Chains A and B, each alone.
Chain A
Amino acid sequence: NAGVTQTPKFRVLKTGQSMTLLCAQDMNHEYMYWYRQDPGMGLRLIHYSVGEGTTAKGEVPDGYNVSRLKKQNFLLGLESAAPSQTSVYFCASSYGGRRSYEQYFGPGTRLTVT
């Protein structure tokens, strides 16, 4: 099993550009999440999904959109990138219910917005 994979691993954008980050999991997990981590900080939840076709806002959703068209994929979009979105982005997945705190994380995408 590959677990949770993220594409791309690195990306540099100019202010105003758009991009999509792809997350894929092969564990048949119901729940999927997008976090961002800034230097010296913990992770903050951006958006999450509790099933195919569903999405919801997390702690810091502004400037991001997500889609979960297939159970195994969770996409994070930046429509107009800003320097404040420079960060490391982590995708995670988990079973629902009692095991939702046992999340499996991907390797991260390091995004720089200039």
Chain B
Amino acid sequence: LAKTTQPISMDSYEGQEVNITCSHNNIATNDYITWYQQFPSQGPRFIIQGYKTKVTNEVASLFIPADRKSSTLSLPRVSLSDTAVYYCLVGDRQAGTALIFGKGTTLSVSS
């Protein structure tokens, strides 16, 4: 499994765009990039998944450069309720049993 590296913590203010970058230098050809969000005292929630270029849904955008050695989760106009831990995971999406969560990035949004 490709190892991922992401910042331990980030701070932001309401209304700003937040970009969380994840490095995965050893990503394999079949690997997909998946992001989860976890609020305190809750289970993680799937946010977005992508393979290359750009993926967008109602919650976030995921940008993946051509070499796929990194990816950026973009949260537009964050609010206080976006304060959470964000996990970047990389792996063959047909092997969900190998889902490995690191420590994630703790995003703190203040007013």
Contact = CB atoms under 8 A, between A and B. Distances in A.
Contacts of A99: 93, 96
Contacts of B41: 108
Contacts of B10: none
Interface residues of A, number: 31
28 contacts: A33-B97, A33-B99, A40-B103, A42-B100, A42-B102, A42-B104, A45-B99, A58-B97, A59-B100, A90-B43, A90-B44, A92-B43, A94-B96, A96-B96, A98-B93, A98-B94, A100-B94, A101-B32, A101-B34, A101-B46, A101-B91, A102-B49, A102-B96, A104-B46, A105-B44, A105-B45, A107-B42, A107-B43
Interface of A: 4, 31, 33, 35, 40-45, 48, 50, 56, 58-59, 90, 92, 94, 96-108
